[in-house]
Amino acid sequence: MSFDMKIIVYLGFNNPYVYKRGVENVIYFQHLNGVFSKSLYVFFDEKDAVFRWDDILCISIKNDLLKYFKLNILFFNLRRRYKSIFIHSHNILMSILLFYKTNLLTIHDAIYYQRRSNKDRKAFIFSIVEFLSLFKCKSFHFISKYTLSKSLIRNLITRKFIIYNTCTFEGLIGQMNERRNVDEFKIFAVRGIQKRTRVDLLIDFAQYVHDKKIDGKDIHLYIVGKGPLLEQYKRRIENLNLHNVSLLGYLSDSCVTGYYKSCDYVIMPCEYAEGFGLPIIEGYYYNKPVIASNKCAVPEIIIDKSYLFENNVESIWETLNRTLHLKFDFRSYYNEKFSHEVILNEYDQLYQLLS
């Protein structure tokens, strides 16, 4: 029996109950569209399972040697069950190895550019993958002009669209940080703890300003996130005997919103492969000033170039002081360019065009 329903199937990476940031948040927001009547999310995980993520039906496929075979069997059955299936992929390898064509591929970071920037010896393989996507994907969505500019196939794509990200905290009440110290100047960062996000620079900056003040207040950096370098950086902070920087690890969305609400500034360093800069608009949603590296997609997203710094501690310090008394309505800027209403309307128009 087949059902005459408009179904959208998202292809991604992670179990949202284990890891939910970046791609997972974007998929969740995209599923709120008003075009499709049912949303499925497919990804590889530790076991085969079916469960609900709010109103999204999640299907995990065990990450073993048979995973792509089982992926194709799944889609064969879905196509038998439903008359109309729209495949929206965030996972380029899934799209390449799926028998059916992907309707829309979202590119968060151009895959060859990212691998080459990481100095991956197998980066060339991903250039092949990128070119193969031309034949397996009908349309391409990029999250910024910068991301499009780094794609090897940008001039070969006939159907390409740019839609920015939005803040997934919109409408979330969250909680205030109970440890808020009114006598400290609080700088907040949400970063994956890895080489490209330059958390090492934040630690250097904390050391640089340990005896400095802003408006008579001591400066404290709070950094939320997890990643392969978390324990290494914790040891470094301990060895330097720094008490003005805190690596908080993973925190719930509710706790993260509390830090956004109570901080004085948001900071977002990066070196490469930053296709958008989500913490920038998250800060703007809470009407906070954001300073960030003058790299990647950041200049495209930031409210004004005055808030950009070069990746050294002196430039961060100078940028922080230079922007202290600038007057911008960050929340209005967010509402005009990145709000749920604006971005969801763009997705609705895109899905209607392509489906």
pLDDT above 90 covers a percentage of the chain that reads 78
CA distance 202 to 190: 11
Average pLDDT (43-60) is 95
Query: Which tens digit of pLDDT belongs to each residue from 94-117?
Result: 999 999 999 999 999 888 887 888
**pLDDT at residue 172 in the model:** 67
What pLDDT is attached to residue 2? Answer: 46
Per-residue pLDDT at 344 exceeds 80:
yes
> For the segment 252-305, what is each residue's pLDDT rounded down to a tens digit?
888 899 999 999 999 999 999 899 999 999 999 999 999 999 999 999 999 999
Q: Tens of pLDDT along 116-159?
A: 887 778 878 888 988 999 999 999 999 999 999 999 999 999 99
Residue indicated by tokens 């005009």: 336
pLDDT digits 0-9 by tens, 153-190: 999 999 999 999 999 888 766 555 545 566 899 999 99
Mean pLDDT across the stretch 64-81? 94
pLDDT of residue 179: 53
Give the rounded distance of the alpha carbon of 64 from its chain centre: 27
Average pLDDT over all residues of the chain = 91
Position 17 pLDDT exceeds 90: no
28: left (phi over 0), alpha (psi -120 to 50) or beta: alpha
CA distances from 262 to 158, 179, 200 (A): 45, 10, 24
Which pTM value belongs to this model? 0.89
Q: Which of 16-20, 73-77, 215-219, 309-313 has the lowest mean pLDDT?
A: 16-20
Q: Which of 177, 263, 179 is nearest to 214 (CA)?
A: 263
How far does CA 70 lie from the centroid of its chain? Answer: 28
Calculate the CA dihedral of residues 288, 291, 295, 300 and round it to 10 degrees: 40
